[in-house]
Amino acid sequence: MGGWLLRRALQAVVTLAIATALLFVLMRAAPGDPLFRLSADRPISQKEIEVLRARYGLDQPVGRQLAAFLGGLVHGDLGVSIEYGRPVTALLAERLPATLLLGGSVLLLNFTVGLWLGVRQAVRRGAREDRWLTTLSLTGYAMPSFWLGLMLAWLVGVEWRLLPAAGMQDPLLSSDAGWLTRAGDVLRHLVLPVLTLSVVSIAATMRYQRAAMLEVLHLPYIVTARAKGLPERLVTWRHAWRNALFPVITLFGLWLPILVSGSVFVEAVFAWPGLGSLAAGAVGGRDYPLLMGASLLVAALVVAGGFLTDVAYALLDPRVRIG
Amino acid sequence: MSTVTGWRSRLAFVVMLTAWSIPGAQAQAAPATGIVIVTGQQATTPVPTLMEGAANGVGNQDVADQLFLRLAELGPKAQTAGDRDFVPALARSWTRRDSTTLVFDLDSRARWHDGTPVTARDVVFTFKRAKNPDLAPRVSDLLRQIVSVAAEGDSRVVFRFARPYAEQLYDATYHVAPIPFHLLDSIPPDSVSRSSFATSPIGSGPYRWVRSVPGQFVELAAVPDFFLGKPKIARVILRTAVEPSARLNLLLSGQADAMDIIPPPSVNQVAADTTLRLIAVPSSTMGFLLFNQRDPKNRARPHSILADNRVRRAITFGLDRRQLVQAVFGSHGMVPYGPVSQLLWIRHRSPRAEGPNVNEARRLLAATGWGDSDADGTLDRDGHPLRLVLSVPNTSGIRRQMALLIQEQLRRIGVQIEILQLEFPIYLERRAAGDFDVDFSSVNQDPSPSGLTQSWACTGGNNVAGYCDRGVDSVMEQAVRGRGDPGERWIEALRKIEEDAAATFLYAPAFMYAVNRRFRGVTITPQSAWLTLRKWSVSPVPVAGRSR
Amino acid sequence: MTSILEILRSAWRNPRGRTGALLLLIVAVAALVGPWLLPDPLAQPDILAGGLPPGVGHPFGTDQLSRDVLARVVNGARISLGVSVLAVALSVTLGAAVGIVAGYWGGAIDAALMRLVDGALAIPRLFILLLVLAVWERVPVLALILIIGVTGWFATSRLVRGEVLRIREEGYVQAAEALGARRRRIIFRHLLPNALGPLLVAATLGVGDVILLEAGLSFLGLGIQPPTPSWGGMILDSREVMVSAPWTGIFPGLAIVVTVLSANLFGDALRDAVDPRSA
């Protein structure tokens, strides 16, 4: 097991390295220049541009910039954001929790509602309920997250005023409010963004889980169990489910990149202060260090997710460790 | 089948959701002790002398205006020439010793937020930092006419200028507010932006810094013993949302009380909300079509079509600018005469912009040899069609909208416009390199007309179109120096620029700001939206309901 | 090994698949013919009357520039479908090629290719596209198709490689090789036909994904540049008037949903036909 683990970890590092190189090449092949954004509508003097250029090391050749970046990376320094003037790592650290909260809540919903619906569909395969749920899930999967977000924010937030239309917390909450009130406040703000992301992801989870369950339900030992007279409920939740867990773990590994991507739109529409909105803002402003840092962080999360998935697999199924 | 995650957990979820909603609904009728203002940009370093480069934005400036008091504030008329339109702030009075010396007497009651009195030493220190071109390239350039700033005692500051000119008081007070010597002197200048001062600044203004929640909002609190009167609004929250729809939603859902610059298409909707008051504020924005006088491929040669001012004037006559402004800005837009936004004081004395004259446009084009030889609707000359590329940044909804209308209007006089929408950084790059035919420009002007020299003087740093007229240069120079009546000189410059059709000046809007009606005594100064916040009051009863 | 025709027929028999196929057909026809019947209304007679709600003469209403929303949606269909179909065709071709090479040749080539695929798959496709598009200039439609296509072949290559490996184990390939068949013949006679089923599924589902992707990019201002109508771009423009003129945003969004849904319905039915166990 130890040897396998080491090899797998090494694989993950190599993958991340390739991703890093890819990102850097893509970004620095740019014809654009982040500093020109600043001469937006106020005339900017040449002197000012030169000072800022030197400050951000943009006057160095690309090779030197790459070396500087990698050197910094080893020390955990991702450079300074051009737009915010602060270290990229600090910015990412500030904004990551919000995205994790959003993503985590969506995953939670996926693993409860999505899983349950998928299993239900598989068990009731072919029934009317199954067909309706399939259509429903396909519709949900077809919705652009930003559009759904805009609709929900408008309807629920502005027209009906049931829930906050944007933001993560109420800034006017007095400082002596208890943690319960605060948590409740954040939860209220969380509902719409989570709903938006969940519609799409649960739809996919349902489909996936249904397919996985169906595969398992045909396995010989399940058929045997049924033939032996075991009640259907036990067959489903005692035996079949655990086997269907494998694809679910895969799903977890797959969902990370999708959730992060979806969060770019959803966080923007709901002004949710996470990584997604940070990245969306950095794109327009050509904030190279910030863009690089955010993409790298996302890639790292994805690779880590994949690694953990494999480890989970290995723990559950010894055969995997040998292969 | 009864399942583990069955109806019970679903019910629990719904109950939880409802339970959380109820206290939330009550909290939405917010206590009337604060104001929530929506912004598009969060303040990162709202400290004078640090607002350079990317930090020079409205997000930082708005907060800095509350934290740091200037020596004197520019009045609502934004009259930057002369000494009359300024209101005492940190300085209680000023006098002239001669045509190049200005003396300020500081108000002895002024204090920094930590209680230390504001003294002349702070002012001297501030200008030493501000005039350092390596630290503050933008501000030091603005202060280049100030030769020396010296203290005479604790409360008197003497400014010496390089030469006599009309805007000495403006330069001495507007560009940078004093920063505290006793807190910053020990920090080396290039480490200030990373210091704790930058993350929780201490100033002399009516509001002090409380906290900043990253990506969400900045909170300020009223200074109770502020020497010019305690602000009646106890808390000020500047809430950030980068997406325009999120900003509007915050305002319309009641989560925010005030917003600057309502996008013109949404004005009607905001107007329908009776809890909000709409205020028209002259804007510093001015949009225009800049004609490149030089060939974009070879800057040494004149532009094959636009170097001839008859063609440029024809385009101006061919456009119904009033209709364009009406379509996009409704009744709050003006067609400017010359490059003048509603903010500049010189607009009050300038003539009205000319209306369209399609016949004259056609005549001018014919006179320059453009005819429609192949009857395809587009004029041509020597086999070349009268085709121009209009560069528009894709970030400006206003300009994108107007570009389509312009394209249509010019099609009618036989000018073919191709709209090139560019991503903002690319747009800027091309503009700076002079790589365009017609650039759809938009500027945010400073209150001082002297900013015009940047774009319209022969050697102006921002003169990317290659426009050069010595006559205009000399008139503008006279206006800046204060020789003769500055107002008249500026108008003369405008007239020349208009006659030469250096550009077609399209719109000078007034933007609508929205403030919740429970705030009284609301005034908005054009150059800084929330500057007079400390004078507003709030009625204790939240205004009920909203209708749409 | 079922033939393509059988797969299609089976998908057609499936009621959901049939619905999906029909809807797709309607959208395709609208995209091809619609712009002739309802030209993109850049010229408007009355500049000042904008933002009309759906009603007589304007079934989907008008936007703030008095442009008929229905006409713009129909014109946008051509762009969105065109970009998606072409990009997916590119992705599928690239993915199949790489998958076959990796699966058939094996060894170091396989390992290297799959390492590259792993690395590329680590970065969410959206982020790659954000970076590439933020970095290059206003991208002409052809370049956009290329970029989207080139970033979408990774998963398909894995799929095809899996198929190739599976087929190799079944002995056809070894038999053919033993009989002295040339490589090209093996690829085109044995490997490719077997992979066609899953490829078709991947392609159909891929079209839906790319439509969503392109819409998202246009929403961020990075994809199709205005004034060329695109569904994502229309939703982008509708942000500021969502409260006063919501129809400018609702209809383009619905168009996306309907199109992607029909692609997914059909693709799902195809998948059921290829692999009946998952039906």
Q: How confident is the model over B489-505, as pLDDT tens digits?
A: 999 999 999 999 989 99
Binning pLDDT at 50, 70 and 90, where does residue C3 land? confident
pTM of the model: 0.81
**Where do runs of H (alpha helix) occur along chain A?**
2-28, 46-55, 62-74, 88-109, 115-123, 128-141, 145-152, 179-217, 220-227, 232-234, 241-243, 245-269, 275-284, 288-316, 318-322
Q: Which long-range contacts (CB under 8 A, 24 or more apart) does B466-471 make?
A: B466/B292, B466/B293, B466/B294, B466/B299, B466/B434, B467/B293, B467/B500, B467/B502, B468/B293, B469/B496, B469/B497, B469/B500, B469/B502, B471/B496
DSSP-based three-state secondary structure for B434: coil
Q: Which of C48, C72, C144, C225 to mutate to test the interface with B (most CBs of B within 10 A)?
A: C225
The pLDDT assigned to C136 comes to: 63
Task: Please compute the mean of the pLDDT values over residues C21-30 and round it to a whole number.
Answer: 89
Q: Higher-confidence residue: C262 or C119?
A: C262
DSSP-based three-state secondary structure for C68: strand
CB of B241 less than 8 A from some CB of A:
yes
Least confident span in A270-284, B94-108, B480-494, B533-547 = B533-547
CB of C127 less than 8 A from some CB of A:
yes
Instruction: Give B353's contacts (C-beta < 8 A, 6+ positions apart).
Output: B321, B335, B336, B337, B505
Task: Report yes or no: B316 and B489 within 8 Å, Cβ to Cβ.
Answer: no
CB of A139 less than 8 A from some CB of C:
yes
Interval B445-471: pLDDT, tens: 888 898 888 889 888 878 888 888 899
For A284, name the nearest residue in chain B, comparing CA atoms only. B424
Task: Please compute the mean of the pLDDT values over residues A303-319 and round it to a whole number.
Answer: 75
Q: Which of B17, B52, B239 sits opposite A191 (nearest CB)?
A: B17
Task: Report yes or no: C254 and C234 within 8 Å, Cβ to Cβ.
Answer: no
The pLDDT assigned to A74 comes to: 74
The pLDDT assigned to A248 comes to: 67
Q: Higher-confidence residue: A320 or A82?
A: A82
Q: Which of C123, C135, C252 sits opposite A22 (nearest CB)?
A: C123
Percent of chain A with pLDDT over 90: 11
Q: What is the DSSP string of C11-27?
A: HHHSHHHHHHHHHHHHH
Interface of A with C in 156-185 (CB under 8 A): 158-159
Question: How far does Cα B277 stand from its chain's mean position?
Answer: 22
Instruction: Give A315's contacts (C-beta < 8 A, 6+ positions apart).
Output: none
Task: Please compute the mean of the pLDDT values over residues B24-39 and round it to a whole number.
Answer: 64
Q: Which of A24, A25, A37, A138 to mutate to test the interface with C (most CBs of C within 10 A)?
A: A138
Task: Please compute the mean of the pLDDT values over residues B339-351 and round it to a whole number.
Answer: 89
Q: Higher-confidence residue: A3 or A169?
A: A169
- On chain A, the residues whose CB falls within 8 A of the CB of C220 are 264-265, 280, 283
Structure-token match 């894709």, residue found: B394
Q: Higher-confidence residue: A305 or B12?
A: A305
Least confident span in A231-235, A275-279, C140-144 = A231-235
Nearest-CA distance B246 → chain A (Å): 6
Predicted ipTM of the assembly = 0.81
Find, among B478, B483, B443, the residue nearest to B463 by Cα.
B443
Instruction: Give B428's contacts (C-beta < 8 A, 6+ positions apart).
Output: A36, A37, A39, A40, B393
Task: Please compute the mean of the pLDDT values over residues A245-268 and round it to a whole number.
Answer: 75
Task: Report yes or no: B211 and B238 within 8 Å, Cβ to Cβ.
Answer: no
Interchain pair C225, B421: CB under 8 A: yes
DSSP designation for A283: H
Interval C154-196: pLDDT, tens: 888 888 888 788 777 777 667 777 777 777 776 777 677 777 7
Q: Higher-confidence residue: A68 or B234?
A: B234
Interface of A with B in 295-314 (CB under 8 A): none
Interval A74-104: pLDDT, tens: 777 777 787 777 888 888 999 989 998 998 8
Cα C6 to Cα C11: distance, rounded to the nearest angstrom: 8
Cβ-based neighbour number of residue A46 at 10 Å: 9
Question: How far does Cα A293 stand from its chain's mean position?
Answer: 15
Interior CA angle at A185 toward A180 and A187, to 5°? Answer: 95
Least confident span in A59-63, B381-385, C242-246 = A59-63
Evaluated on CA atoms B362, B368, B369, B374, the torsion sign reads negative
pLDDT at B20 over 70: no
Average pLDDT of the residues of chain B: 87
The pLDDT assigned to A28 comes to: 66
Interchain pair C136, A30: CB under 8 A: yes
Task: Please compute the mean of the pLDDT values over residues A215-243 and round it to a whole number.
Answer: 69
The pLDDT assigned to C40 comes to: 63
Task: Please compute the mean of the pLDDT values over residues A235-252 and round it to a whole number.
Answer: 66
Task: Please compute the mean of the pLDDT values over residues C271-278 and round it to a whole number.
Answer: 69
Q: Which of B216, B252, B443 sits opposite A168 (nearest CB)?
A: B216
DSSP-based three-state secondary structure for B134: coil
Q: What is the DSSP string of B456-520?
A: HSTT-TT-TT----HHHHHHHHHHHHT-S-HHHHHHHHHHHHHHTTSEEEEEEEEEEEEEETTEE
Find, among A307, A312, A260, A308, the residue nearest to A13 by Cα.
A307
What are the tokens at B444? Answer: 């945010």
Instruction: Give B491's contacts (C-beta < 8 A, 6+ positions apart).
Output: B346, B349, B350, B351
Binning pLDDT at 50, 70 and 90, where does residue A70 land? confident
Task: Please compute the mean of the pLDDT values over residues C129-146 and round it to a whole number.
Answer: 74
The pLDDT assigned to B91 comes to: 94
Cα A193 to Cα A174: distance, rounded to the nearest angstrom: 24
For B441, name the nearest residue in chain A, comparing CA atoms only. A41
Task: Report yes or no: A163 and A154 within 8 Å, Cβ to Cβ.
Answer: no
Backbone angles phi, psi at B363, to 5 degrees: -65, -45
Q: Which of C44, C137, C244 sits opposite B269 (nearest CB)?
A: C244
Cα B63 to Cα B67: distance, rounded to the nearest angstrom: 6
Interval A108-123: pLDDT, tens: 888 888 888 887 887 7
Binning pLDDT at 50, 70 and 90, where does residue B29 land? very low
Binning pLDDT at 50, 70 and 90, where does residue B546 land? very low
Interval B210-245: pLDDT, tens: 999 988 999 999 999 999 999 999 999 999 988 888
Binning pLDDT at 50, 70 and 90, where does residue A321 land? low
Interchain pair C243, B252: CB under 8 A: yes
Nearest-CA distance A83 → chain B (Å): 5
pLDDT at B25 over 50: no
The pLDDT assigned to A41 comes to: 41
Interchain pair C123, A23: CB under 8 A: yes
Percent of chain B with pLDDT over 90: 48
Instruction: Give B259's contacts (C-beta < 8 A, 6+ positions apart).
Output: B37, B38, B247, B248, B250, B251, B513, B514
pLDDT at B35 over 50: yes
Task: Please compute the mean of the pLDDT values over residues C196-204 and round it to a whole number.
Answer: 83
The pLDDT assigned to A177 comes to: 75
CB of A268 less than 8 A from some CB of B:
yes
The pLDDT assigned to B272 comes to: 86
Q: Which of B1, B28, B250 sits opposite A167 (nearest CB)?
A: B250
Cα A289 to Cα C210: distance, rounded to the nearest angstrom: 28
pLDDT at B86 over 60: yes
Cα C179 to Cα C192: distance, rounded to the nearest angstrom: 19
